[in-house]
Amino acid sequence: MSDKQKGIISDQTAHGTPGWFAREVLGFTPYEWQDKVMWDVATGSRPVTLRAANGSGKTQGIATVLLLWHCAVFPKSQVVTTAGVYRQVKEQLWGNIHSHADRLGKGWKLNETNLTAPNGSKAIGFSTDDPHKFEGWHNEHLLLILDEAKSIPDEIWQAVQRCNAPDLRILIMSSTGKAEGFFADSFHGKREFFSQHTVTAHDCPHLSDEWIQGQLDYWGEDHWFVQSMIYSKFREVGVTDFVVAPSRWANCADNPPEPEFGIKTAFIDWAAGGDENVIAIVNGNVVTDVIAWTEADTMSAANKAAGLLVQKQVPVTRIFADDGGLGHPINDALAANGFPVRRILNNWKASQPEYYQNLGSELWHQASRQIEQREVVLPDDDITMKQATSRKSVVSSANKMGLERKEDMKARGLTSPDRADAVLSAIAVAKMFPPTYADDVQWNADDDEDGVGADEYENQLSGAFAGL
């Protein structure tokens, strides 16, 4: 046992170890791995780095305990916490600290992201991209906690290393991302300078075997999301960043499934700023139509879309449309003139919010999954293919999958992925939103109940969208 370990044990006679503090003061029993990590932070001589599966309990079960324990054990000490985004600091760590307020006794003063203990110890939490704010922390007893470290810039870590204290403890922890940056280095090229801990989903009893197997069945054993979320493995640099990998599109296009026609589903992506209006139609498991056109006049675009959907015999309950920006007033006008669409906003909450940043991300990634598994007959359209295989997948600090912004795509010299938006959304909604009726309502292309055929329908609507 090192001199530092002996000293800590001696100083803790009134408060015990972090594990004891969790059990006797905060009222919960840490897992064995949580206890080991906290003991390593308390007694070790090197920064402790932890890579952990999603939902493992690292923030609540380790960071909260260490922060409160440190403040209780060392009078007039300092704890500094940070994360890649302020939400992680405020809602995760400090939200959990506040949940223990009634167990701390008198004299503890808690604000949103800071506290003062009765013995004069202080703790503060913030997120910043300004490394200079990390250079002024000096105390005889100093604890630094870096949560979701994969999203913290290297400059912040460099500033952390300038912090000076006779008794300094550092905890770095995160779910995994790309194998780059100081957090990945702490497990790879710079590992000799750190004390490492790795926790998988199998080490966490609250993550059931059924849940884990469900993720493996859904994503596949080798999917990078599973490798990170379940096994805490880093994603190698150079692995495709695209939502739809070009090789997977090619494999699905060259080896399509047997066509199975059924009820048609359409998705409309309305244009903005000179981009293409696009209608994509899926019939069963076949993308039958990708209709794209530029139209400066929104009234004409609405007229054309209405006529095409009647002509293509898409059921009235199976027409989806982007409702963002210019799409909203066009969809309003369509609905007012007896042509309802089912509206979709990309920034809506995903149906599986534990995986995706928003609904738009979910649609692209769900369609990508169908393409990967060769469940759909893709269109023979080079523009759609190039757009679909050029958009990057991004991962949030909470390890949720998102999409590269269109502005960033344009900065890379790419056009707006209008055709891919429509096609991938049509593929996804066709599966995610089952038909309302088994025998869905159809337009009569030859003669509707008012005696107006499909060819005449567009003419009938002329002027209906004036002013758009």
Please tell me whether residues 142 and 176 are part of one structural domain: yes
Q: According to the model, what pLDDT value does residue 136 have?
A: 66
Dist CA 24 CA 39 (whole Å): 16
| Residue 240, domain member (yes or no) | no
Tell me the C-alpha to C-alpha distance, in Å, between residue 461 and each of 128, 311, 449.
54, 14, 16
Please tell me whether residues 266 and 154 are part of one structural domain: no
pLDDT at 233 over 50: yes
Please tell me whether residues 201 and 258 are part of one structural domain: no
Q: Which residue did the predictor score with more confidence, 162 or 344?
A: 344
Q: According to the model, what pLDDT value does residue 461 have?
A: 40
Which CATH number is 132's domain given? 3.40.50.300
pLDDT at 358 over 90: yes
| Residue 160, domain member (yes or no) | yes
Q: Which of 24-28, 90-94, 197-201 has the lowest mean pLDDT?
A: 90-94
pLDDT at 2 over 60: no
Per-residue pLDDT tens digits for 424-454: 999 999 998 877 655 554 544 444 434 334 3
Q: According to the model, what pLDDT value does residue 374 have?
A: 95
Please tell me whether residues 133 and 250 are part of one structural domain: no
Find the helix packing angle between 418-432 and 359-372, rounded to 10°: 80
Per-residue pLDDT tens digits for 251-281: 999 999 999 999 999 999 998 767 899 999 9
Please tell me whether residues 193 and 265 are part of one structural domain: no
Tell me the C-alpha to C-alpha distance, in Å, between residue 170 and each of 30, 64, 82.
20, 14, 12
Q: At a CB cut-off of 8 Å and minimum separation 6, what does 182 contact?
A: 149, 152, 154, 157, 190
Tell me which of 166, 195, 229 is where a domain ends.
229
Number of folded domains in the chain?
2
Q: According to the model, what pLDDT value does residue 236 have?
A: 72
pLDDT at 10 over 80: no
Please tell me whether residues 169 and 223 are part of one structural domain: yes
Please tell me whether residues 334 and 202 are part of one structural domain: no
Backbone phi, psi, residue 126, to 5°: -160, 160
Please tell me whether residues 179 and 257 are part of one structural domain: no
Q: What average pLDDT does this structure show over 199-224?
A: 89
Lookup: tokens for 220 = 């596949």
Query: 398 falls in which pLDDT band (50, 70, 90)?
Result: low
Q: What average pLDDT does this structure show over 25-42?
A: 94
Please tell me whether residues 341 and 455 are part of one structural domain: yes
Per-residue pLDDT tens digits for 291-347: 999 887 777 888 888 889 999 999 888 999 999 988 998 888 888 877 788 999 999
Determine the structural domain holding residue 291 and report its residue range. 246-461
Per-residue pLDDT tens digits for 45-58: 899 999 999 889 99
Please tell me whether residues 158 and 255 are part of one structural domain: no
Mean pLDDT (the chain) is: 85
Tell me which of 229, 262, 289 is where a domain ends.
229
Please tell me whether residues 222 and 262 are part of one structural domain: no
| Residue 94, domain member (yes or no) | yes
